Structure formats: C-alpha cells, structure tokens
Homo-oligomer: A and B are copies of this chain.
Amino acid sequence: MRFVVIGGDAAGMSAASRAKRNMPELEVTVFEQSGDVSYSACGMPYNIADPRRKIDELVVREARVFRDKQGIDLRTGHRVDVIDPDRGQVRGRSSEGGEFVEPFDRLLVATGASPIVPDLPGMDLEGVMCLKSLQDGRRIKAFLETHTVKRAVIIGMGYIALEMCEAFVERGIQVEMVKPRPIFLPWLHPDLAAMVRGEVEERGAVLHTGCGISGIEEAGAGLRVICDGPALEADIVLVAVGVKPNSDLAAEAGLELGPSRAVAVDRTLRTSHDTIYSAGDCADAFHVVTGDRVWIPLALRANRAGWAVADNVTGRPTEVRGVVGTAVFKVFDMQVARTGLTPEEASRAGFEPAEVIIKGRSRAHAHPGNTTLGVRLVGDRKSGRLLGAQMVGREGAAHRINAPAVALHAGMLVEEFAQCDLAYAPPFGPVWDPMLTAANQLLKAM
C-alpha cells in the first residue's frame, strides 16, 4: 500500500514516521516543497534573539534520518500542484524543474499555514520579513547579521509579533509595534491585557494601536511604515498579522473546507474524500466545549493528528477527541495562557456566560518574590459548566492553565472545579490557589 504525504513539518512527518513504525512494509512518500523538515518553528523567536545560536539547531530530525533510518521516501524541494482524488494520484514539480506523478492509496494533506501578507505597497521591499518557515527564520537571522539594525517595526501584536518584539529587544534593537485595530490582545480580559502591555512597554517597546497602515516605502538607507499615526522608520519590518491555512490545493481537488477555509476533517482526520486525510495547520478540528468545528493551528494538535492519521491508515482505527483551545506564550517575563472560550465566544456558541477576573498572588502570604497572577474564569449560567480560563503573570500561569484545560475536557462544572484538591506550598501559591479563588467567586456570579 502506498501512503503519500504532502508537507514535511509537524503533522506530515509525525504521520509518516508513525505509519512506517506501525507497518514497516508500507510505502511512505513525503513531498515537501522547501528544503526543511521536522523543525521547531515555535522556537524561532528565541533562536533569533541569540546571535550565538544557529537557526539549524531547531531541526529536530534531519531529512537523511527519515530516509536512511526510517525508510521514508522523503523528497524535499518537491511541490505538489494537483491532487487528483479519482485517479488516486498527486502531480507536481521539483525545484530542479522535473515534473512528477505519484499514485497513492491513502493521502495526507499536511500543507500547513502561511503568514497573511496584507495587500499593500512595499511588502516586497528588502528588509520586510515574515516569520513562519525555517527559511523565514534563516532570512531574518542573516539580515540581522549583514545589516546594521537599530530599529524594528513590527506590524501586528499577536503572539508571534510579541515573541519577536522580545527577540529584537534582546538584540538591542529599538522596537515599535503597530496595528490597525484599537485593542491590544482583544481576546484577553482588558485587565490582563493591560498587564501584558505594561510589561512590553516597560521593556522599551512602543505600541501604536488603532493605526491604519497604507504601505511601506524606502527611506534613506532604511524603511518607513506609512500609517495614520507617527512616522515609523526602521531598518527591518516584520509583518506578523496572522496566518491562514494552505488549503487551496485541497479546495481545487474538491475537498470540503470548514471554518476559516481550513480543510474539513472528521474525528478520524478523514476529509470529504474517503482516501484522503488532512492534519496540522491546514485542517480544522472539533472544539470539545462547543462541539463545533474550529481552526486553531497549534503544534500539539498537529503532532497528535499526524499520529492519528498514521494509525487510521495502518488499520488501527483512532479518533481524536478534539481541542479546547489551550495556548500559552511568553513575552519578556510575562506568561500569557488561555484555554476554552472567552465570554464572547461562549455567547456565540449559545451559552449564557458569566465571568470573573481576579488579581491573585503567585506565592503565599509573606513569601518573598510574590508577584501578581491575574485569572479570568468563564462559566455557563444555564448548565453550571466551566467554559474557559485565562491567566497572566510572571510565574505559574503557563503550567497552571493545564488544570482548567483538563476540567474542560472532563466537562466539569465550576462547582466541581472549585472543589479540586490542588497543590499548595508557599513558594508556589497561596493556600487557595488563585484558580480556586476565581472559581469560588464565579460560583457567586453565576
């Protein structure tokens, strides 16, 4: 049997490796249009921050390991242009110009996502960068090494924009950030967003929210971002306004798309065509809290979905249970974490949300090193269910979020969560963990 994979990153290589492990006689072919496979994309901002580190340190497993040790026919520099579901074949072109046709019995579409590039003049100027692929990271790093970069402008204020803000500041670069919409981290509770914004500004970055951007132009030896606000001059401009699923190939093959134009898959990761699977940043998923399809492109679910595809392809029927939207990032010393629904998302999903926001402490009463831990909890007035959580703080937010994440998977009531026997010791929190204090207050608000 022939198993063909389009895309050699997290989902694609997870699936290829596991399928080959499950069934050594399976013929596994992976087409990857770039030269890179299996790297830690999320690690790029931290790597870029440190001039001593090589970007290739982020490669988890080299292409030759997949080929020589695992027996995977991995073809980098091969771009698939057409999926032909009826003939069971893919067609494309290699970077050397040769055309190829490859038949499949089972196909995995793991084409990932791409950065959104606004349709504005100047996006193609030298020094205007995006960050998604390892090649993007290489370009940014090379640019920083070969140019004198003292000022950076970042268009966008999402988590990649903020991680890159930290990376630039670490390298001694003055950063200005700009976005058209007026609210900083709009999905966060305003009090929590203010904590994050305060941290970023305290480290010297300047934030311009609510500034419409009309283009980028050359200005002397550098660049100028033209916007409603002040003149933003820079030696490098990073465009980080979000990502979109790479689903055109799938759509052209007639595969159904779901929310945000991601490839629609069922719980076995099967698309609308029964021999074709999709996984990773190009595919959608079920949200455990709402039951709806969602598109939340994150690394863990990509790896997990890749494994599940491998199991299904090799005759071990597997379903993925879906996501709850757990995500975390760090900007400077501030940890920002979320799981589940915001009140707005909860309303849209038909719940009657109640919410609380508290500012708790990261350590016990009178324990040195105490900092503020902000916690938002969201519950449903009708059913009593816990619906979501957000946390921001200098310590303990990132790992704490996993407790409400598990509670969401279990469909716990707020009342049940409030009764959980959580860990306590003075260096790690108050007797009543801020999550429990928030849950107790949410019970009253409901």
List the B residue with the shortest CB-CB distance to A366.
B57
Closest chain-B Cβ to A153's Cβ sits at a distance in Å of: 24
Contact A423 to B406, CB < 8 A, known contacts A46-B367, A366-B58: no
Q: Which of A109-147 contact B (CB under 8 A)?
A: none
Query: B421 near A288 (CB under 8 angstroms)?
Result: yes
Query: B421 near A47 (CB under 8 angstroms)?
Result: no
Contacts of A303 in B (CB 8 A): 431-432
Query: B366 near A423 (CB under 8 angstroms)?
Result: no
Residue in B40, B366, B403, B427 whose beta carbon sits within 8 Å of that of A405 in the complex: B403
Q: Mark contacts of A31-50 with chain B using CB atoms, 8 A cut-off: 1 yes-contact digit, 0 otherwise.
A: 00000000010110011001
Contacts of A429 in B (CB 8 A): 399
Q: Is A368 positioned at the interface, with any CB of B under 8 Å from its CB?
A: yes
Q: How many copies does the complex hold?
A: 2
Q: Is A246 positioned at the interface, with any CB of B under 8 Å from its CB?
A: no
Rounded to whole angstroms, the CA-CA distance of A412 and B410 in the bound complex is 7
Q: Is A364 positioned at the interface, with any CB of B under 8 Å from its CB?
A: yes
List the B residue with the shortest CB-CB distance to A301.
B421
Q: Mark contacts of A388-408 with chain B using CB atoms, 8 A cut-off: 1 yes-contact digit, 0 otherwise.
A: 000000001011111111110
Q: Is A188 positioned at the interface, with any CB of B under 8 Å from its CB?
A: no
Contacts of A339 in B (CB 8 A): 421, 423
Contacts of A337 in B (CB 8 A): 423
Q: Is A197 positioned at the interface, with any CB of B under 8 Å from its CB?
A: no
Query: A407 near B405 (CB under 8 angstroms)?
Result: no
Closest chain-B Cβ to A55's Cβ sits at a distance in Å of: 10
Contact A405 to B422, CB < 8 A, known contacts A43-B364, A321-B416, A365-B60: yes
Contacts of A367 in B (CB 8 A): 43, 46
Rounded to whole angstroms, the CA-CA distance of A324 and B405 in the bound complex is 18
Q: How large is the interface on A (under 10, 10 to 19, 20 to 34, 35 or more residues)?
A: 35 or more
Q: Is A298 positioned at the interface, with any CB of B under 8 Å from its CB?
A: yes
Rounded to whole angstroms, the CA-CA distance of A396 and B136 in the bound complex is 31
Closest chain-B Cβ to A293's Cβ sits at a distance in Å of: 15
Q: Is A195 positioned at the interface, with any CB of B under 8 Å from its CB?
A: no
Q: Is A323 positioned at the interface, with any CB of B under 8 Å from its CB?
A: yes
Contacts of A60 in B (CB 8 A): 365
Query: What are 30 residue pairs bridging A and B, where the CB atoms are less than 8 Å apart in the complex?
Result: A10-B431, A40-B366, A40-B431, A43-B426, A47-B366, A57-B366, A60-B365, A300-B421, A300-B424, A321-B419, A322-B421, A326-B422, A326-B423, A327-B423, A330-B425, A337-B423, A396-B399, A398-B428, A399-B428, A400-B402, A402-B402, A402-B403, A402-B420, A402-B422, A402-B423, A403-B403, A406-B417, A409-B412, A409-B420, A410-B412
Shortest beta-carbon contacts, A-B, top 5 = A410-B410, A399-B399, A402-B403, A328-B423, A398-B428
A residues with CB within 8 A of B? 10, 40, 42-43, 46-47, 50, 57-58, 60, 288, 298-301, 303-304, 320-330, 335, 337, 339, 364-368, 396, 398-407, 409-410, 412, 416-417, 419-429, 431-433, 435-436
11 other A-B residue contacts (CB within 8 Å) besides A57-B366, A324-B421, A406-B420: A40-B364, A42-B431, A46-B427, A304-B419, A328-B428, A396-B398, A398-B399, A398-B428, A401-B423, A406-B412, A410-B412
